[in-house]
Structure 1
């Protein structure tokens, strides 16, 4: 006679169930469902850090490494970094949790001063910790650091400066993305020059050991493009405010000002070329010449450059309007036709000799780079001369000592008839 197991036999769609069996939950499930107690975590962490000499950095790094074996760093990542950066757990609003706990034995806020040499050892300890527990990097740059920076207006000046130096080092060492700086672009932080003062110190610290190109790359990867938002709203409309700020004697970061100007000019160049090509196209909706000139004058003002630097942008934009799909034997005619139409656009920006030479050199480089129109160079110059855009003096100066090195011999040879004509015309005027 066979024995029957204890339990309920399945009937229909009912699943079998064992009675009296206790299923044990996995450790991960138990941990995730456990009560969130950051204060308990803090007190346990303090025990690992107590008794270590204030500047024994290796001992702090070892203690934090060891604490990770028993404390739940993954669950308490935010409180962990708040303790190690500002010295305690932050409550909503940026104040410390008020439960009578002392400041952390180890924190960037507890550094002797805001000097680089006093802050860097703390960041180096954080780097060792993150290298050991790689999962900590993501919450640091996506959560904790943003949360700390959004309350930077609540800190004393020295504490704020320590945080700025530490932030620069964390970005430089790859512990956090420069995207954390976008938090400072909120209006309540930008007012009273608080945000831009913080950024000044971040940039200055970063550039101690790295180049401006390296800093620019970090900012670009972090999506920090509009630096105007670090300034108070009342200052954002001031002409060239970013470059003039960083170039000032008080800030003393001319390399930052130079980079910003070059970047602005590149952005404005791209905008000008694209928009101008659309405005002067042969479509019926093409803009009027006064409208085009007004647009270009506004762009030149925004770029903060003179006509001699802006004329190459105009030339490139005008060439966008040429129909480059025509046959090779018709291309020269298409280019000259476009130029005859556009001489009134170029003329207001070519009133000086420097601007005219700049335009000629832009055309030289353009024809040198595109062999389809390399033979058209003399006729292009003649068209612009007839359209009162460039003068005979500008062409003669270019031929004598102003030409670019690229294809110089070829272009001078091709322009000999035009140059000879202009020289003879000059001589006739002198005799009269």
Structure 2
């Protein structure tokens, strides 16, 4: 009788399933209750909010709670006093905190202690920044479900996250507000208005605009309902809400855009040889239509005239001749808008900076000024004022020295006139 044949076996090592690879069901409710209980246990009746929050954070730092898995839930508790649900009116059950960001008053004094506590938490667990971002985004996405007062609290809270430099990417926060429904209802505009008012309480306008630009929401008109997206509504809204600086900034931006468009038209007209009188009429019309500042127009005219120059020269003299020909040809255009000593001085300083920044025209500055004087664009008194106390800081020493012969000639001419009159 033959022996039984051995059954075939699989070769290689047996791989055991590691238990740590088995997913454990999430239990945010239990985590939320544990965090809330820590805050409750750490609180004392005779202690201040700051002291109670500080005590609770110290316990959190030494706890073995799974923050990496339930980071969102931690900040839901800090912001709302419990777990965050879809829609403000729905109750998720479980324990609730008496003190949270949404339960305090809508001002920095009341809410700052919570963010000082968040800073302490982040020092030990910086990876939780992403969880703050997640929760704040969800809160802002649900903004229309909150009362006006709660929206103001979230606006102050958002302001503090950036003012205290918690590290949130602005674009991941603000862009959720560009929502058709919330914009149409005015919810987004109300939030942004409250946010900007609070942020400007401790920061400059430039800092705010840099933040909004990083957040890709620096076009504030996008927050206005479509039927209210015009300059008058924008200015009125911000002025009525104590944000005149914002209203002025928005008007300045619109002026910059209008001036840019006008500049393109001017360069084309000058290059094509449009009669100066026709261009003067166009500029005056645009000035009246858009309420453009005189000083900005003077600068724009100079840059437009120079941009239209055909710089074909290969040496200094050819460059100088090209510049002087252009200035002489369009002096009447400049003269049409330098209607006061202040605007004449503005023109002189614009030319000074222009020549300073374009090295090939440094030595041409006195010739340009003399030509504009001869063409009755610049007055004698303006030139003397510029030389004594009105020059721009850029290249001042060199330009003042270069102008000395002309200024001396003006002084002598003035003395001769005085003697003749006497």
Give the TM-score, by structure 1 length: 0.74
Alignment check: 8 A CA contact 2:175 2:217 kept: yes
Q: Is the 8 A contact 1:276 1:314 kept in 2?
A: no
Counterpart Cα distance in 2 of 1:306 and 1:127: 46
1:295-354 per-residue CA deviation (whole Å, 9 max, x = no partner) reads 79658976x652123312332343334455732221111212333444465354334443
Please point out which of 109, 123, 130 is paired with 1:138.
130
Partner of residue 82 from structure 2, selected from 78, 88, 112: 88
Change (3 A) 1:99 1:149: closer
Deviation digits for residues 144-201 of structure 1, max 9, x if unmatched? 2122112222212222222121111111112234332343343433446543443333
Q: Which of 191, 201, 210 lines up with 1:198 in the alignment?
A: 191
1:288 and 1:189 map into 2 onto residues whose CA distance is 51
Q: Deviation digits for residues 357-391 of structure 1, max 9, x if unmatched?
A: 32123213333454532332343235445666556
Structure 2: gaps (5+ residues): 1-5
SS of corresponding position for 1:95: coil
Residue among 67, 70, 91 paired with 2:65? 70
1:39 to 26, 29, 33: 29
8 Å Cα contact 1:279-1:292 kept in structure 2: no
1:421/1:342 CA distance change after superposition, 3 Å? farther
Residue in 2 that maps onto 1:147? 138
Per the alignment, residue 129 of structure 1 pairs with: 121
Counterpart contact for 2:39–2:53, Cα < 8 Å: no
- Go from structure 1 to structure 2 and tell me whether the alpha carbon gap of 1:416 and 1:132 turns closer, same or farther (over 3 Å shift): closer
- Separation in 1 of the partners of 2:185 and 2:142? 15
Question: How far off its partner does 1:273 sit?
Answer: 9.7
| Equivalent residue, structure 2, for 1:224 | 217
Contact 2:61 / 2:121 at 8 angstroms: preserved in 1?
Answer: yes
Counterparts of 1:350 and 1:239, CA distance in 2:
29
Structure 1: gaps (5+ residues):
10-15
2:3 is matched with which residue?
A: none
Q: Contact 1:273–1:314 at 8 Å: present in 2 too?
A: no
Aligned to 1:57: 53
In the alignment, is residue 279 of structure 1 matched against residue 274 of structure 2?
no
> Which SS does the other structure have where 2:325 is aligned?
helix
Q: Which has the larger displacement, 358-367 or 183-192?
A: 183-192
Residue 372 of structure 1: aligned partner: 360
User: How far has the Cα of 1:280 moved from its partner?
Assistant: 6.0
* Map of 2:241 onto structure 1: 251
Deviations 1:111-157 (A, max 9, x none): 2x22322111112122222222211112423x321221122222122
CA contact 1:109–1:159 (8 Å) conserved in 2: yes
**CA 1:98–1:131 in 2, change beyond 3 Å: closer, same or farther?**
same
Task: Report if the CA contact (8 A) 2:345-2:390 is conserved.
Answer: yes
> What's the TM-score, normalizing by structure 2?
0.75
Alpha-carbon distance in 2 for matches of 1:422, 1:361: 24
Q: Distance in 1 between matches of 2:72 and 2:312?
A: 59
Give the conservation status (yes or no) of the 8 Å contact 2:184–2:226. yes
| 2:112 aligned with 1:120 | yes
Q: Is the aligned partner of 1:339 residue 2:327?
A: yes
User: Structure 1 pair 425/77, CA: closer, same or farther in 2 (3 Å)?
Assistant: farther
Deviation per CA, 1:31-90, whole angstroms, max 9, x where unpaired? 4xx4444434434443444434273112221343345x332x333333332232123334
User: 1:114 aligns to what SS in structure 2?
Assistant: coil
Question: Alpha-carbon deviation of 1:225?
Answer: 1.8
CA contact (8 A) 1:8 1:17 kept: no
User: In the alignment, is residue 162 of structure 1 matched against residue 153 of structure 2?
Assistant: yes
2:165 aligned to 174, 180, 185, which one?
174
Paired with 2:386 and 2:15, the residues of 1 have a C-alpha distance of 94
State the superposition RMSD in angstroms. Answer: 4.3
The answer to whether residue 358 in structure 2 is matched with residue 357 in structure 1 is no
